[in-house]
């Protein structure tokens, strides 16, 4: 993780894979009818990568990057999930719905309600296990046997034991639920949904508890005894055996490529997480860009028509000068159209968006927000002073820029939300995540090889030797966040990230401290 802020408008920037990094914005919704969040991202790309208006268009940018808007996972502790008094617990709501089915209720809406609650239950359990494991791993890794550390040691050990106790109790509740779900009175859709949930939870337990077990074994001094390690190990081992006994596909097999388990895990994750994702719909009525491009074509055509009228008045139709004027006007017409389109696209994004996306609640398809996006290349002179200052904040000398010529493009995102509409329909899914995965593959097409040989003299024996050195490129990104907090105050925050890449893809992300 590169950055994380405790704020109404949090951001996290992480590597997703070899060619993509992810920008995740956490939006806490105030109890208002209308709220606006803005993000301006300025990318400073080395000219050596040959990224410019003609080689990297708006279409390239939008087509190569993925966007998701979803609800944040509701926070309910494992112990509270099993509390029969908690009305917001998806486990309790599932039990209530199943009780109605077993009593003979055949309401079709009840099937959909239970279907969504099963998936929400999976999301909540995954979130709690993930967060607990992160906390315990951090505690284990930072533990040092010093004076005064006894309390911390006890906290980690007792916390782990309590966590495992809660997990066992929850597992018992899920097993009891299984007996009810498999009753023939329960619709087959819900029985199949439960098997997906059951397999998914087993994979989640195996994945996260394996990480935790590894951390425990590396930091045994932080625990009072070996009970926790043995218990964790037994729990992890039991998951694979359980899935095999249930004939679930997600089983590791010796001497095989095991593509099934990774594929299956992805399918199950998408299925369970789908309960959180909002529906987005590109607004086809967003015609300003097409109008402007049409205007550019019209002006170019006007030039061609005027040139034709001039030629007809000055020369005879079958003369050489007439033909030359017409051909020249045709050539200039296309160049004028392209030049005007480029000019308009660069300047109109200051006031208009390239596209507008409706954000819809998937349950009732009501419009709960709008996402506006704009992309354009800008000259170095057009970079705002505050952004330019942050870009140069780590320069060693005043002439550093001459050694690293760059092109700059700007991506602006404006998110308009209607919190009251969201809060009216949901009592648990409230705050939102806006996720964008940025693909850098177009950036590295013309990058040089990622390793270069460097000749030097070995000071020990005076021989010349060849040392392979890594060749990397730095793409700098400055992000400017603008939002209104719960008190109605307008806020601005900045982040600066250095994206280090080579011919193969992303190498690392570095946060540049803002002084």
The 3-class secondary structure across 141-160, one letter per residue, is HCCCCCCCCHHHHHHHHHHH
Q: What is the pLDDT at residue 200?
A: 95
Tokens 């030097």 -> residue: 456
Q: What is the pLDDT at residue 145?
A: 58
What would the pLDDT profile of 215-259 be if each residue is shown by its tens digit? Answer: 888 877 766 566 888 888 999 999 999 999 999 998 888 878 888
State the pLDDT confidence band at 6, using cuts at 50, 70 and 90: very low
Is it the case that residue 152 has pLDDT exceeding 60?
no
State the pLDDT confidence band at 91, using cuts at 50, 70 and 90: very high
Radius of gyration of the CA atoms of the chain, in A: 30
Q: What is the pLDDT at residue 288?
A: 55
Query: Once rounded to an integer, what is the mean pLDDT over residues 101-116?
Result: 86
Q: What is the pLDDT at residue 3?
A: 40
Tell me the angle at which helices 227-245 and 188-218 cross, rounded to the nearest 10 degrees.
150
Q: Which helix (H) or strand (E) holds 438?
A: strand 432-439
CA distance 353 to 345: 10
Tokens 């779900």 -> residue: 181
Q: What is the pLDDT at residue 350?
A: 52
Query: Once rounded to an integer, what is the mean pLDDT over residues 27-43?
Result: 82
> Within a 10 A sphere around the Cβ of 175, how many other Cβ atoms?
10
377 forms beta bridges with 409
Chain centroid to CA 178: 34
Contact, 1 vs 422, CB < 8 A? Answer: no
Tell me the angle at which helices 108-141 and 90-102 cross, rounded to the nearest 10 degrees.
150
Is it the case that residue 386 has pLDDT exceeding 70?
yes
Closest alpha carbon to 34 in 326, 432, 421, 445: 421
Residue with the bigger pLDDT between 331 and 396: it is 331
CA distance 386 to 425: 40
Is it the case that residue 357 has pLDDT exceeding 60?
yes
Q: What is the pLDDT at residue 318?
A: 75
CA distance 377 to 42: 9
Contact, 446 vs 358, CB < 8 A? Answer: no
Query: Once rounded to an integer, what is the mean pLDDT over residues 273-286?
Result: 78
Query: Once rounded to an integer, what is the mean pLDDT over residues 130-150?
Result: 74
What would the pLDDT profile of 462-512 be if each residue is shown by its tens digit? Answer: 889 898 999 999 999 999 988 776 666 778 888 899 999 999 999 999 888
Is it the case that residue 30 has pLDDT exceeding 90?
no
Contact, 229 vs 213, CB < 8 A? Answer: yes
Percent of the chain scored above 90 by pLDDT? 28
13 forms beta bridges with 23
């Amino acid at each position: 993780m590169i950055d994380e802020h405790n704020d109404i408008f949090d951001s996290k920037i992480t590597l997703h894979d070899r060619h993509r990094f992810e920008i995740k914005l956490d939006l806490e919704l105030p109890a208002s009818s209308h709220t606006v969040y803005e993000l301006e991202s300025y990318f400073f790309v080395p000219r050596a990568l040959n990224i410019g208006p003609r080689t990297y268009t708006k279409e390239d940018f939008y087509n190569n990057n993925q966007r998701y808007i979803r609800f944040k996972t509701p926070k309910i502790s494992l112990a509270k999930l099993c509390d029969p008094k908690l009305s917001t617990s998806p486990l309790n709501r599932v039990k209530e719905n199943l009780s109605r089915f077993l009593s003979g209720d055949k309401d079709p809406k009840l099937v959909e309600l239970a279907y969504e609650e099963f998936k929400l239950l999976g999301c909540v359990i995954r979130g709690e296990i993930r967060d607990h494991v992160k906390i315990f791993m951090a505690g284990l890794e930072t533990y040092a046997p010093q004076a005064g550390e006894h309390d911390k040691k006890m906290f980690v050990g007792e916390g782990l034991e309590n966590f495992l106790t809660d997990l066992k109790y929850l597992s018992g509740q899920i097993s009891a639920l299984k007996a009810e779900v498999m009753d023939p009175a329960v619709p087959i859709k819900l029985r199949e949904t439960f098997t997906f949930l059951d397999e998914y939870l087993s994979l989640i337990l195996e994945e996260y508890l394996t990480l935790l077990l590894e951390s425990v074994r590396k930091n045994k001094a932080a625990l009072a005894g070996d009970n926790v390690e043995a218990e964790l190990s037994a729990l992890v081992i039991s998951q694979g055996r359980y899935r095999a006994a249930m004939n679930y596909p997600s089983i590791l097999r010796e001497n095989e490529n095991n593509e099934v388990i990774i594929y299956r895990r992805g399918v199950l994750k998408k299925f369970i997480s789908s309960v959180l994702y909002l529906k987005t719909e590109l607004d086809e009525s967003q015609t300003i860009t097409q109008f402007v491009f049409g205007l550019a074509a019209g002006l170019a055509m006007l030039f061609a028509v005027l040139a034709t009228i001039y030629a007809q008045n000055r020369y005879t139709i079958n003369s050489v000068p007439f033909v030359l004027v017409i051909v020249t006007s045709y050539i200039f017409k296309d160049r004028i159209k392209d030049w005007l389109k480029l000019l308009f696209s660069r300047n109109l994004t200051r006031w208009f968006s390239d596209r507008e996306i409706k954000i819809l609640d998937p349950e009732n398809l009501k419009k709960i927000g709008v996402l506006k996006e704009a992309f354009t290349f800008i000259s170095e002179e057009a970079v705002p002073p505050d952004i330019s200052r942050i870009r140069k904040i780590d320069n060693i000398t005043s002439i550093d820029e001459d050694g690293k010529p760059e092109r700059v493009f700007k991506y602006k995102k404006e998110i308009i939300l209607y919190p009251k509409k969201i809060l009216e329909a949901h009592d648990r899914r409230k705050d939102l995540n806006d996720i964008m995965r940025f693909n850098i593959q177009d950036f590295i097409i013309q990058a040089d090889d990622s390793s270069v040989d460097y000749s030097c003299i070995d000071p020990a024996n005076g021989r010349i030797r060849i040392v392979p050195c890594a060749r990397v490129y730095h793409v700098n990104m400055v992000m400017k966040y603008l939002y209104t907090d719960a008190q109605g105050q307008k806020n601005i925050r900045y982040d600066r990230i250095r994206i280090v890449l080579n011919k193969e893809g992303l190498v690392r992300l570095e946060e540049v401290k803002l002084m």
